[in-house]
Amino acid sequence: MHNDDDQLAFLDDMPSPDSGSAAEACWYLLIVDDDEDVHHATEFALGDLRVLGRPLEFLHAFSAEEAIALLERQRDVAVILLDVVMEHEDAGLKAVERIRNELGLDAVRIILRTGQPGYAPELDAIANYDINDYKTKTELTRGKLFTTVTAAIRSFEQIQRLEASRSGLELIIDGSSHFNAEQGLPSFAAAVIVQLSDLLGIPPEGMVCVRTGGDATDGIVLAAAGRYGEMTNQPLAAVTEQTARQMLECCLQERRNQCGERSLALYFAGRHGSNFAVFIESTAAIRQIDRHLLNVFRTNIAICGENIGLVERLRKAAYVDTLTCLPNRAAQIEAIDELVDGARSGNYVLALIDIDQFSETIDAFGYRFGDQQLQAVGGRLHAMLPDDVHVARVGSDVFGAFGRSEVVNPVSLRNILLEPFDSEGGLHIISFSIGLVCADAVDADGADLLRNAAIALKRAKVAGPGNDAYYTAEVGVLTRQRIHMLHDLRSALDNRDLFVVYQPQIDLASGAVVGIEALLRWRTAAGEFVPLDQLIPVAEQSGLIVAVGSWVLRTALVAQGELAAHGYPLRIAVNVSPVQFRQPGFLDVVRDAIAESAIDPGLLELEITESVALSGWVQTVERMHAIKALGALIAIDDFGTGFSSLSYLARLPADCLKIDRSFVHALDDQHSGTPIAAMVIQLGKQLGMRVLAEGVEDCEQLQTLVDLGCHEAQGMVYAPPMAQQDLLVWLGNRER
């Protein structure tokens, strides 16, 4: 039953525990934590604890360095409650190393505590140093804290009492690091046999059995030595030596040691049902061992066993995906690194298999359905790929398969994934995109291969769902160029290397300048211009387009105000990226820019591409109406290049249709360009919208547009995009 009084609550005001008589013997307990409330709460929780008739005396340190300095002066500390994360994320682990190595304090018991459950200590640190326990602060209730500290003090007392008089204790302490360094319970069990044999002064002849169920006979022999060597990994019931089997069964059943003239079975009580027993036999009578020394050995072995279990749990958490039980990304990188040299000469391939539209699936059917899909896909890949193919879940909806190209290739993988998957009691066909990289194609380690496969996967997804692509050196070069361009773009924005130019928009009926379009330009430090078809995709994919677009808008409105001050109150058109348009704060950006520049909002026209108008219909219309409510105008850019629909266009609150330059350039083609331009112009007129043709380059194109009844035009036939000062000169010259 849960008891609220048992919780170790951290309160602002806590009474100080009575320290007791100064002359009374006590146990020194050092609290190392950078949170003062933790110190108070711990004292409050343990203030009335007495262990072996002694009270606790609390010492305090608020950093790892302060703790080390205190321990240099006070070397008889029994227990250290040590925070893992203080000055830095591994401050506690570094302190453990110094306590054991520099200060040589082997007896003090160390209990690691952390307030960050997701933080896992480095496995080597736990394996190589005697750590008594590792708990999250929320896990250490008052009762558990009592139990943990009591056990630690008892262990310390036993070690301390025997250090001065028992030479065998050195063997036990020296062996602790060896035990904890073992990887896995079988290796640990084998070390226990050797260590106990050394303590008894006899050859290693025996076995270690772990109890796995309620029946004492239900156990597995984890390790065996001497004439029992063949019993490793066998059930206890299969042990044919009657004396050994019966002593182990009695030891586990009665939970106490069993002693014979030439044999010994020791019982070790562990947590989480991990009780075990060790059987040792000798060719001669086993000498009497001091009971305290034997208890110390058992205590140390139990602690080491817990540490081994902790290491295994941490290793599982670090390398196994809990949902699918497959290895995770870190495990696959490690597996590839182990095989990479042979893989380069063995035609190995890494494939990343991505579930198409997985986020949309979750939105439609929920996370439970998504989890079932992941489990089904991971289970099929693991079951149907050969054992020598390393399968892992390396991302939220991405699986990795590393093996020979005869198996790891698009055809084989799609054959495995072709059949429908069973989710929520029904069969569902799943589409996959696959990116692949050959291990011998590049000189790379596991992490690099994963990155290269991810690049290939992106290329596959660009082509649409259900496609696959291989990584090539050329792809890598292009990707690195895009990454460099992204870094340069960030610097250009910060260093104001970007600038805006303006192209006039002309009324075809009167020939008057009625507006200008603001256009982004980027000139590198080397003086080279970066093409917009390279700049914009990088900015959009990185999300940097939001900041760039906001800067262009503010810059353009400032320019519009300055032109108006010179007598040219022209309408200014500013392009809006789809990514920018969908940002939740986009309307606030527009509203603030209008307010800061103090312009007439009716002179601002936001150009939104047809693709934006087609995506997310309800949200798009709502946002466009909100823009109109601000007083601004809306133009539909690149009209006709997408999947145009008269029904949606009639419902959009737009003021202008812009004929894409591709149709303007094709005006001389009576079978394609002119009919489309004529259709757009007539459509705009019927819907009450202005029609503006962009990219007009010559007089023939211009005359055709006039004949078709187009309202406005911009392009080289009038003027190129110009800097603001050049535009002022151009406007002044037109008035002469």
353-410: pLDDT as tens digits: 999 888 878 877 888 888 999 999 999 999 999 999 999 999 989 999 999 999 999 9
Mean pLDDT to the nearest integer, 100-122 = 76
pLDDT at 24 over 50: yes
Rounded average pLDDT over 212-228: 70
Q: Which residue has the higher pLDDT, 448 or 141?
A: 448
Element (H, E) at 71: helix 64-73
Res 255: pLDDT: 84
Which one of 3.40.50.720, 3.20.20.70, 3.40.50.300, 3.40.50.2300 gives the CATH number of domain 4-163? 3.40.50.2300
Mean pLDDT throughout 165-178?
47
Cα–Cα distance between 304 and 188 in angstroms, integer?
9
What is the per-residue pLDDT for 391?
95
- What homologous superfamily is domain 502-734 in, according to CATH? EAL domain (3.20.20.450)
Predicted confidence at residue 498, as pLDDT, reads 81
Token digits of residue 652: 């959009």
CA angle 128, 130, 131 (to 5 degrees): 110
pLDDT band at 301 (very low <50, low <70, confident <90, very high): low
| Measured distance CA(696)–CA(82) in Å, rounded | 74
At residue 18, does pLDDT exceed 60? no
Report which of residues 488 and 236 the model is more confident about. Answer: 236
- pTM for this model (two decimals): 0.47
Euclidean distance between CA atoms 375 and 378, whole angstroms: 5
Share of the chain above pLDDT 70, in %: 74
As a whole-number percent, the residues of the chain with pLDDT over 90 amount to 32
pLDDT bucket at 13, cuts 50 / 70 / 90: very low
Burial zone of 502 (CB within 10 Å; 0-12 exposed, 13-18 middle, 19+ buried)? buried
Q: Among 59, 60, 121, which residue's Cα sits nearest to residue 96? A: 121
Beta bridge partners of 85: none
Q: Please list, residue by residue across 363-395, b when 16 or more beta carbons sit within 10 angstroms of its beta carbon and e when fewer do.
A: eeeeeebbebbbbbbbebbbeebeeebbbbbbb
Contact 209, 248 (CB under 8 A): yes
The tokens describing 418, both together, are: 């072709």
Among 56-70, 85-99, 579-593, which is the least confidently predicted range? Answer: 85-99
Residue 574 half-sphere exposure, CB side, CA atoms within 13 Å?
27
Q: How confident is the model at residue 20 (pLDDT cuts 50, 70, 90)?
A: very low
Q: How confident is the model at residue 349 (pLDDT cuts 50, 70, 90)?
A: very high
Q: What is the pLDDT of residue 642?
A: 53
For the sheet with 263-268, list strands across it.
219-225, 206-211, 276-281, 263-268, 258-259
CATH 3.30.70.270 in the chain, residues? 329-469
Mean pLDDT over residues 275-282, rounded?
82
Q: What are residue 397's phi and psi, to 5 degrees?
A: -130, 30
Instruction: Give the best-scoring range by mean pLDDT among 212-216, 272-276, 293-297, 605-609.
Output: 605-609
The predicted pLDDT at position 241 comes to: 87
Residue 253: exposure state from Cβ atoms within 10 A (0-12, 13-18, ≥19): middle
Q: Which residue has the higher pLDDT, 610 or 710?
A: 710
> Residue 165 has what pLDDT?
40
Regarding the domain with residue range 182-318, which homologous superfamily does it belong to in the CATH classification?
GAF domain (3.30.450.40)
Residue 342, pLDDT > 60, answer no
* Average pLDDT for 145-163: 80
pLDDT at position 200 over 80? no
Under a CB-based contact definition with an 8 Å cutoff, are residues 573 and 516 in contact? yes
φ/ψ of residue 359, rounded to 5:
-65, -40
Work out the average pLDDT over 118-146: 68
327 vs 196, which has greater pLDDT? Answer: 327
Amino acid 15: pLDDT: 34
Q: Which of 93, 141, 139, 135 is nearest to 113 (CA)?
A: 135
Ranges of CATH 3.30.450.40 domains, the chain: 182-318
CA atoms within a 13 Å half-sphere pointing along the CA-CB vector of 1? 2
Please state the φ and ψ torsions of residue 298, each to the nearest 5 degrees.
-65, -40
Q: Which residues contact 513 (CB under 8 A, 6 or more apart)?
A: 504, 505, 506, 507, 568, 570, 731, 734
What is the enclosing helix (H) or strand (E) of 658?
A: strand 656-659
Two structure tokens written together for 311: 């290491």
3-state secondary structure of 63: coil
Q: Which of 145-149, 459-463, 576-580 has the lowest mean pLDDT?
A: 459-463
Give the pLDDT confidence score for residue 169 in this predicted structure: 43
532 pLDDT higher than 70:
yes
Residue 175 has what pLDDT?
46
SS3 state of residue 204: coil
Residue type, 90: D
Residues carrying CATH 3.40.50.2300, the chain: 4-163
Give bridge partners of residue 460 from the DSSP assignment: none
pLDDT of residue 170: 47
Residue 5 is which amino acid? D
Write the CB contacts of 707 (distance below 8 Å, at least 6 apart in sequence).
none
Look at residue 6 in the predicted model and tell me its pLDDT.
Answer: 37
Q: Say if residues 202 and 280 touch (Cβ distance below 8 Å).
A: yes
Q: Is 329-469 a domain of CATH 3.30.70.270?
A: yes
pLDDT band at 292 (very low <50, low <70, confident <90, very high): low
pLDDT at residue 127, rounded to an integer: 61
The answer to whether the beta carbons of residues 29 and 45 sit under 8 Å apart is no
Write down the pLDDT at residue 231: 84
Distance of CA 302 to CAs 79, 299, 560, 632, Å?
18, 5, 78, 75
Given a cut of 50, whether residue 426 has pLDDT beyond it is: yes
257-261, 609-613, 624-628: the lowest-pLDDT one = 609-613
Residue 129 has pLDDT above 70, yes or no: no
| Contacts of 36 by beta carbon, 8 Å cutoff, 6+ apart | 62
- List, for residues 36-73, the tens digit of each pLDDT value: 988 998 998 898 889 888 899 999 999 999 999 999 99
Question: What value, to the nearest 5°, has the Cα angle with vertex 139 and ends 137 and 145?
Answer: 80
Which two three-digit tokens encode residue 495? 């260093």
Give the residue-averaged pLDDT of 103-129.
71
How high is the pLDDT of residue 576? 92
Model pLDDT, residue 172: 44
Beta bridge partners of 428: 421
Three-state DSSP string of 394-412: CCCCEEEEEEECCCCCHHH
Q: Name the 3-class secondary structure at 217.
A: coil
Q: Which of 85, 77, 3 is nearest to 38 (CA)?
A: 85
pLDDT of residue 104: 87
